C-alpha cells in the first residue's frame, strides 16, 4: 500500500542520514505494521452469500443484519486507516524537522509527505467505497438465496 511506501522512504531517509538521527534517537512511528484491518479485509472475511443463510429461519432479516454490520465494520476499518495515515504523516513530518531542521529542505520534505498523505487518503476512500459496494452485493446475493422466509 502507499502507506508502506511512504514509511519505507522515510526509513530510507533516516538510514541515509543516520548520523543525526542516531544521535538524537528515532522519531518515526513505533509500529512496524498496520494496526488496522483494511476495508477490503472486512469484506474478504464474509462467508459465501450463496447459501450461508439459505434455508435458515429469518434468512432475509439475517442478510439485512449482516449488511448493516458489514457497512459499519468497513467504516470502522476506514476510520482506523485514516487515523493511521494521519499519524504516519505526523511522524514523517517530524522526521523532516529532525533531518533537515529548517529551511527549504525541510519544507520540501514536508510538502512531499503532505502529497503522499493526500494520496493515501484518496486511496483509503476508494477502498472504503469499493468495500461498501461489496457489502451491498453480498447482501443482495444473500437475500436472493432466501426462500421467502
Q: What is the pTM of this model?
A: 0.75
Task: Round to whole Å and give the CA distance between 43 and 28.
Answer: 31
**DSSP string over 61-77:** HHHHHHHHHHHHHHHHH
| Strand segments (E) across 46-143 | none
Neighbours of 130 (CB within 10 A): 13
Helical packing angle, 2-16 and 104-144, nearest 10°: 150
Q: In the structure, what pLDDT confidence band is assigned to residue 33 with cuts at 50, 70 and 90?
A: confident
Name which of 27-31, 38-42, 62-66, 119-123 the model is least confident about: 27-31
For residue 149, pLDDT over 80 is answered with: no
Residue 62 has a pLDDT of 96
* pLDDT tens column, 100-109: 877 888 889 8
Return the C-alpha cell found at 61. 432479516
- The pLDDT mean for the chain works out to 83
Amino acid at each position: 500500500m502507499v502507506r508502506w511506501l511512504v514509511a519505507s522512504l522515510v526509513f530510507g531517509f533516516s538510514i541515509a542520514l543516520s548520523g543525526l538521527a542516531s544521535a538524537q534517537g528515532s522519531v518515526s512511528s513505533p509500529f512496524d505494521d498496520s494496526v488496522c484491518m483494511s476495508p477490503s479485509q472486512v469484506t474478504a472475511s464474509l462467508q459465501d452469500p450463496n447459501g450461508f443463510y439459505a434455508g435458515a429461519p429469518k434468512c432475509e432479516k439475517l442478510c439485512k443484519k449482516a449488511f448493516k454490520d458489514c457497512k459499519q465494520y468497513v467504516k470502522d476499518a476506514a476510520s482506523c486507516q485514516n487515523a493511521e495515515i494521519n499519524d504516519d504523516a505526523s511522524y514523517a513530518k517530524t522526521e523532516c524537522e529532525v533531518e533537515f531542521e529548517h529551511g527549504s529542505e525541510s519544507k520540501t520534505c514536508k510538502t512531499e509527505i503532505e502529497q503522499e498523505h493526500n494520496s493515501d487518503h484518496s486511496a483509503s476512500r476508494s477502498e472504503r467505497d469499493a468495500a461498501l459496494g461489496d457489502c451491498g452485493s453480498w447482501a443482495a446475493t444473500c437475500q436472493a438465496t432466501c426462500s421467502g422466509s
